Each structure stands twice: as structure tokens, then as C-alpha cells.
Amino acid sequence: MKEMKLFQTYKGDKIQTKNRFLMAPMTRSRTTQPGDIPNALMAEYYKQRSSAGLIITEATQISLQGKGYAKTPGIYTKEQIDGWKLTTDAVHEKGGTIFLQLWHVGRVSSSKVNGLQPIGPSGVIAKDTNVYIFDGAPNGDATFVPVEEPKEMSQNDIDRVIEEFVEGAKNAILAGFDGVEIHGANGYLIDQFLRSNSNKRTDAYGGSQENRIRILLEITAAIVAAIGKEKTGVRLSPFISFKDMNDPEILETIMLAAKELNKLDIAYIHLCEADWDDAPVIPNDFRKALRANFKNTIIATGNKSPEEGEVLLIEDLVDLIGFGRKFLTNPDYPQRVLTNAPLNVISDNHTLFGGGGARGYTDYPFL
């Protein structure tokens, strides 16, 4: 196992890691209330998983408007910045590297979550899509509620959101993060702009593929100017269409975005890949095209086995492999892979989102 590329250091142009294991972002809803404030329990959770070459935090809203799920962390108040410092200090103390994922959910929200009408590129509701609140369920479980119709964003709304992404990035650096990941995947705000079925605009941000990638590029360029290209990554999900996001043009649109992101010379593109049993497999032709069009680090995450990830590394189609649930239940996941040790499994699904405190969060055993 020691000879696997997964265990080798990675020295990219913008990113260097001690191994090729990436801990993928996973929403866990453990913040202190009120205020969605990161806390010592979260710091312990990330510290335990510092053996990953790179940690990407759970999605973190850049504003109250950008919040779509209860108890998810923010990065727009002093209390949230101070709370995140607990995590960055703990991870760095263990020799880890950690980026913050910047998040705006756009239309995937409800006034029951944040008291506000959702916003999006167009006034198109996401069919068959729910978010969660914690509203008196007897066992502390999340209660799912349908999303509401969004308000179509004005130019002022767009300008404000770009500013909020930039402020979130600056705040992340103040909180001690090594960089940020712009969440452009999984049906949230930026992804909504990218796709023709959710973006019905007729202005400079809608219509053509060039227009639909505009907000992603403006946000990315502004963050690069604020904190540096070596500290800026982008997450995209070309083959994921849940949250009513099925768009026949998305592969072409994302490849066009990749070419433009390459010009901005950002640190990485992170592919969020479908992770259910009969999910579509990303064809190697797409991976090869992405490699040809984007010169810096490429990350792939999607419930891969170490062996599947190793093949992608050996074939030079990606540089880092993201693991989510395996890190959730195995804080020492790289060591377990190295020694072929048995893996912990999810002890109780009720503890995935919010319920349980430390239970099902920081109590998974090490070897």
C-alpha cells in the first residue's frame, strides 16, 4: 500500500500536500446557536481528520441570504470568524492544511430557514427539492421542508453577492484558512446560473453559455484579486442534476468555464461526482478534455474506493482524490487504507445532520 500514489506527496504549481487524500466537504450542522457559529466541537472534528493531505470544510454561507439549511456555519460575522479560528488552529497544530468552502444556496432555501425569500438567477422554483430545519422533532432530527419560489436577482443583487463572496474569502483568511473553495456545484447559486433550465435571464448573465458562466468568473476573479490565485479553488458538478438541475448543455458550459478558470490561474478545480450506486460514471474523454483545458490541480470526489482513485492518479487524470463518508466515520482513514484495516461505518443516521452533538461526530474510534 505504501507504494500507492495516494500516499505520495503532491507538489502542484499552487498546492502542495503531504498525501493525495482530500477530506471532502460534508454538511454536519453542529454550529452554536444563535448565530451559526463554529465551535470547539467542530474544531475537534476537523483536528481528528488532519491526516488528510487537504481538508475542505463543510459548505459555509457567505450571508444570511445564502443560508439554506439549519445550523450550517457562516463566515460573515466576527463571532463566526473567531469560531473558525478554533478549527484552523487545531488543524495547523496537527500539521494539516484546510480550505473553507464558500457557499450561497440561491433558490435552494426557504423562509423557514432564514426568514428570507430565496433568490436566484430566475424566478424558477426547484421542483421536488427540500431543505431542513430543526423544529421540535422528538429525537432532534432534521425536519425537511420544500424550497420556496425565488426572487429573480437584480443587478444590485448580483453585485452584492459578488461582494459577499469576496468578503467571505477575506474573512476566511482572517480566520486562518489556507485558502477557499468557491462552491459552484450541486444545484446551488452559481450552478443555477450555469444551467439553462434554471437560468432564464436575457441580460449579460443569461442566454449564451458565455453569459451563464459570467457570475462564476466575476466571483473567482474578485476573490483572486483579494486573497491570491494560489488560495482559490472552484468546485463544479458536471454530471449531477438533482435539485431539478438537468441541463443538456452543462458539459459544454463547464468545459468553457474550465478554460476561463485556467486563464485566471486558480489553484484547482474540484469535481463533485455522483456518489450513489447507479450514478453516471464520468467518462475518461471528459477527464482528458478537462486536463487539456485546465493546467493546475484537478480533484475528483465521488465515493471512490482507494483503488479507483489510484487508477485516476496513475493515469494522470486527477491529482487528489476526495473522500467524504469514509473520513466521516474514520478520522484516521489514510492509516486504515495503508494497513488494510477494517473501516468504521455510520453508527446512526440520526447523527449525520445536527442531532447527537459529539455522538456520531467526534466519537468514531481511531485504530
Among residues 76, 188, 205, 268, the one annotated as catalytic is 188
Q: Are 105 and 139 in contact (CB under 8 A)?
A: no
The answer for 346, left when phi > 0, alpha when psi is -120 to 50, beta otherwise, is beta
Nearest to 217 by CA among 273, 251, 272, 266: 266
Residues 6+ apart with CB under 8 A from 161: 62, 63, 66, 104, 153, 189, 215, 219
Rg (Cα) of the chain, in Å, rounded?
Answer: 19
Q: Please name the residue ranges forming H helices in 246-364.
A: 250-264, 284-293, 306-314, 325-329, 333-339
Q: Are 334 and 298 in contact (CB under 8 A)?
A: no
Q: Are 182 and 232 in contact (CB under 8 A)?
A: yes
> Strand, helix or coil at 57?
strand
Q: Cell 438567477, residue?
A: 121
Q: Please count the CA atoms within 13 angstroms of the CA of 330 that sit on its side-chain side.
A: 21
> Strand, helix or coil at 313?
helix
13 φ/ψ angles, rounded to the nearest 5 degrees = -65, -35
Q: Are 37 and 31 in contact (CB under 8 A)?
A: yes
First-to-last C-alpha distance (Å) of the chain: 17
Is 364 assigned a catalytic role? Answer: no
Q: Cell 474523454, residue?
A: 285
The burial of 325, by beta-carbon neighbours within 10 Å (0-12 exposed, 13-18 middle, 19 or more buried), is given as middle
| Number of neighbouring beta carbons within 10 Å of residue 17 | 20
Q: From the centroid of its chain, how far is CA 259?
A: 21
Q: Which residues are catalytic?
A: 188
